[in-house]
Amino acid sequence: MAQDHHPHTLHEADQTPLGDKAGPAYRLLFTVGAAAVLLAVLAVPFSDGGVRRFGFAYVLAFAFVLSLGLGSLFFVVVTHLFRAGWAVVIRRPAETFAANLSLLAVMFVPILLLVWANNGLVYPWAQPNDQLKAKYYEANYGGHSDAADPGAVHILPVAAEGDDAHHSGGEHGDAHAASSGVHVPPYDLVEKKKAYLNIGFFTVRWILYFVIWSILGYVYWRTSISQDVSGDHTLTNRLQGLAPAGILLFALTLTFASLDLLMSLDPAWFSTMWGVYFFSGSVVSTVAALILILMILQHYGLMQAVNVEHYHDLGKLLFAFVFFWGYIAFSQYMLIWYAAIPEETGWFELHGVTTAPAEMTGWTVVAIVLLVGHLLIPFAGLLSRHVKRRKWSLGFWAVWMIVMHVIDLWWIVMPSFNYQQVTFGVVEAGLLIGLTSIFLGAAVYRAASYPLVPQKDPRLQESLAFENL
């Protein structure tokens, strides 16, 4: 990094809050969000799966906005941890997103209600085990509870090519499962996890997650805007001192939250790499979102302090985490494939990742799209320095990666609703657009009262003069 010895100053637009100018933006976002959610609700009676489909679609939409909030919190904390002066002028949008994590606690209520219903509609573990046992025998044995105990393996409703009947659950189970597309996990494996996967502990954990996230996000945002007024440089030192503990709390809470929200959709499955997988996707989508937000603000004459050097570094971050996501995804798959343990391989089979032609579904195509579109194509596309230093090309890849992240979450969530058919419609689209618009609207509303660039951060000049070597 090189430093320019000439003084750099903030543009006038970056020194004053948006105020009433932000009104049309957040009112539009709130209106679009409310209309999209309402449309999704109205579409439920006319969609296959009804309330159950709405539940899975809501988990998908919530996982997306949560990834944006947590990715922003990571960006804020880690830039303080490493004293990344270059990031000062682009940090305020991420601080605002992180401060909005408390809003996600309200958005989480529908998921909590689904769990409290205790009927296993979305999360199979959230029901009495006798009820799960009955569903299991119905799905795999046509209701014959006197069948041989299947709990020793993770039984899939459809057998792999060449497998015997005991793996698939028998002839009756195959016919029933093929018509429903609903996977019911082995009740005995779920029962063994009841000490962790139960309604009470689940609720307590999520309260703890949101308390930690909300406090961290609010403290970093509030301290930053307070420094705009006081100019007290010790506030930056305090945030740096908090960063090591903050990043540890972030890592722990994100890991367990990703297990609770996504991995427990199939409670018999487990992966020790799942938290890192969700984290990598969250950072990819957040960096991509920051790039687009900065470009939109600059289009309206704001954030003039952001230049090609900052975009270049954001492009490098995007490229790094595209590769990191691919590394984690491959490592998780390779280790599970190599071990070939039925309790682990079953999840990938349900998501279409199989070499048995009889078991390939539409989700197999989606998995291939992720391999090519989330890793191979953007890896090649973002490799060049010139791509990362041109707004149009960097903006293209930012949009591309957000779309790929949504597809990734969709592929994770919706096969648990129906593993035989690719499901996407008004309910899923409405909730994705709705929750995202409301989250963005709340961020714009919060940001309207404060400058979009930190005014008196001790590293502001370093950030204004930043150059890539």
pLDDT digits 0-9 by tens, 453-462: 999 999 999 9
* Amino acid symbol at 309: E
CA angle 9–15–16, rounded 5-degree value: 165
Mean pLDDT over 335-358 rounds to 88
User: Is pLDDT above 60 for 178?
Assistant: no
- Token pair 């960063």 is found at 243
The predicted pLDDT at position 367 comes to: 96
**pTM score, two decimals?**
0.91
Distance, CA of 10 to CA of 89 (rounded, Å): 10
- Nearby residues of 227 by Cβ (< 8 Å), 6 or more positions away: 233, 235, 236, 454, 455, 456, 457
Distance, CA of 414 to CA of 416 (rounded, Å): 5
User: Is pLDDT above 50 for 172?
Assistant: no
φ, ψ at 16 (rounded to 5°): -125, 145
Question: Which string of DSSP letters, residue by residue, matches 111-157?
Answer: HHHHHHTTS-SS-TTSS-HHHHHHHHHHHHHTT-TTSPP-TTS---S
The predicted pLDDT at position 24 comes to: 95
User: Is pLDDT above 90 for 415?
Assistant: yes
User: Is pLDDT above 60 for 338?
Assistant: yes
φ, ψ at 424 (rounded to 5°): -155, 130
Nearest to 387, CA basis, from 459, 330, 441, 319? 319
When pLDDT is cut at 50, 70 and 90, the band that residue 351 belongs to is very high
When pLDDT is cut at 50, 70 and 90, the band that residue 161 belongs to is very low
- Token pair 């494939």 is found at 337
Nearest to 153, CA basis, from 182, 128, 175, 185? 185
pLDDT digits (tens, 9 = 90+) for 94-116: 999 999 999 999 999 999 999 99
| Residue 16 near residue 417, CB atoms below 8 Å | no
User: Is pLDDT above 80 for 6?
Assistant: no
Distance, CA of 157 to CA of 264 (rounded, Å): 19
| Residue 394 near residue 315, CB atoms below 8 Å | yes
The predicted pLDDT at position 160 comes to: 35
Distance, CA of 205 to CA of 258 (rounded, Å): 12
- Determine the straight-line distance between the first and last CA of the chain, rounded to whole angstroms: 6
| Residue 117 near residue 131, CB atoms below 8 Å | no
Residue bearing the bigger pLDDT, 149 or 391: 391
Mean pLDDT over 125-129 rounds to 92
The predicted pLDDT at position 5 comes to: 43
Distance, CA of 443 to CA of 93 (rounded, Å): 8
* Amino acid symbol at 450: Y
φ, ψ at 17 (rounded to 5°): -65, 160
Distance, CA of 267 to CA of 281 (rounded, Å): 22
* Amino acid symbol at 440: L
Distance, CA of 20 to CA of 37 (rounded, Å): 26
pLDDT digits (tens, 9 = 90+) for 234-289: 999 999 999 999 999 999 999 999 999 999 999 999 899 999 999 999 999 999 99
The predicted pLDDT at position 221 comes to: 97
Mean pLDDT over 178-197 rounds to 84
Nearest to 184, CA basis, from 274, 60, 267, 271? 267
Nearest to 88, CA basis, from 7, 5, 14? 14
Mean pLDDT over 421-446 rounds to 97
The predicted pLDDT at position 144 comes to: 54
Nearest to 265, CA basis, from 106, 120, 139? 120
pLDDT digits (tens, 9 = 90+) for 14-65: 888 988 999 999 999 999 999 999 999 999 999 999 999 999 999 999 999 9
When pLDDT is cut at 50, 70 and 90, the band that residue 145 belongs to is low
Torsion of CA 132, 135, 137, 139, to 10 degrees: -140
The predicted pLDDT at position 184 comes to: 87
CB count, 10 Å around CB of 284? 28
User: Is pLDDT above 80 for 139?
Assistant: no
The predicted pLDDT at position 157 comes to: 40
Q: What percent of the chain has pLDDT over 70?
A: 90
Mean pLDDT over 328-339 rounds to 92
The CA–CA distances, whole Å, from 234 to 6, 136, 231, 462 equal: 25, 60, 9, 17
The CA–CA distances, whole Å, from 142 to 169, 171, 180, 213, 333 equal: 9, 9, 12, 45, 32
The predicted pLDDT at position 142 comes to: 66
User: What value does the mean pLDDT of the chain take?
Assistant: 89
Residue bearing the bigger pLDDT, 57 or 10: 57
Mean pLDDT over 425-447 rounds to 97
Distance, CA of 64 to CA of 78 (rounded, Å): 21
The predicted pLDDT at position 430 comes to: 98
